[in-house]
Amino acid sequence: MSFYEIFELVWVRRAVFGLGGLALGVAVEWMVVKRIHRFAAGTRFRWDDLLIRSLRGLPTVWLTAGGLYLTLAVGEVSETLVRWVERGLMVALLGSFVVGGMRLAGGGVEIASTQAPGAMRSPTLVVNLARLSVAILGGIIILQNLGIEITPLVTALGIGGLAVALALQDTLGNLFAGVHIILSRQVRPHDYVMLSTGEEGWVTDVRARNTTIETFPDGNLLAVPNSVLASSIVKNFTLPQAQLWVSIDVGVSYDSDLERVETVVLDVAREVLANVEGGVPEKPPVMVYRAFGESSIDFQVRLLVRDFRSQGPVRHEFIKRLHRRFGSEGIEIPFPIRTIVMPGADSG
């Protein structure tokens, strides 16, 4: 049997069209899409990378669907089979566009968030909501093209949704609390926060159920339910600005020259802010005498640092240098002393 006679066989032509579409799709992926992706990766424009990533795998689906559609024109095929295959191919094509749209929506939100002022990555919850919106819209379009009425389905989902909402009220409560946290912008990724329960650290992400916090200084991951975070008293060390004042309490002897003490302390503070990583030398340090203590005159020194992480090194170096400078200047930091007088005691 010649090649022409073999090709005239119905099942052979169908196999050629079907497998040929698949092979052509894979070839396009490797020879065209992959090269375009390498070219896009070499540019500084990020949206072209997102577009190519969103197309990953879709040409294979499109060309395979085209090949399968051509098989319907080979030989005699029942109208029922043709109708079901056409519907399946339509769902596959529309579904591929929905998948590409979900990738574009999620990646677009991430890119837009990093290009906004502050260059802050969007929480996972926002990215997932963007993808879910595209998926729901795509599902509605697919159902409409299949001739399925949306109104009865929405009504049924509304009735069933009430039962689902009652069963998943904790999960939905955390979801809406997460949306509230994001919209209020009082707690954002990369903010350093302290909860009323004592936990503190950097916010890493806001998810559908919980907010993850990287604790300081141990670096463990803390998952806080969104409903708990939304109802807690939270101190944000990053808002309205990342810079913060570090307060250090010190006491000197009553015999000290207070003018000289103030000069020495501010001199050491300026030196630390200028030479230690994290200090803000543009803002002068502040020293205020606060009280007559039991054994010392107490004062407080305040130094401005770049962020919460910087306060430890700055505080550490200031205490070291101030102690050394007080020693060289003869300024005494007294030990607590308490004199006890007992009435009626024999003084002789």
Q: Note the pLDDT tens digit of each residue in 320-333.
A: 999 999 999 888 88
Sheet of 192-195: strand order equals 221-225, 210-215, 200-206, 192-195, 234-236
Range of weakest confidence among 157-171, 195-209, 241-255: 157-171
What pLDDT does 2 receive? 47
> For residues 348 and 290, which has the higher predicted lDDT (pLDDT)?
290
pTM, two decimals, is 0.57
Residue 263 has pLDDT above 90, yes or no: yes
Report, as an integer, the average pLDDT of 168-183: 76
Measured between alpha carbons, how far is residue 258 from residues 266, 302, 324 in Å?
12, 17, 18
Structure tokens at 237: 């060390």
Range of weakest confidence among 7-16, 134-143, 166-175: 7-16
Backbone CA torsion sign across 318, 319, 320, 325: positive
122-163 pLDDT tens trace: 677 778 888 888 888 888 888 888 777 777 766 666 655 555
Structure tokens at 134: 């595209």
What pLDDT does 7 receive? 47
Cβ(173)–Cβ(225) under 8 Å? no
What pLDDT does 305 receive? 92
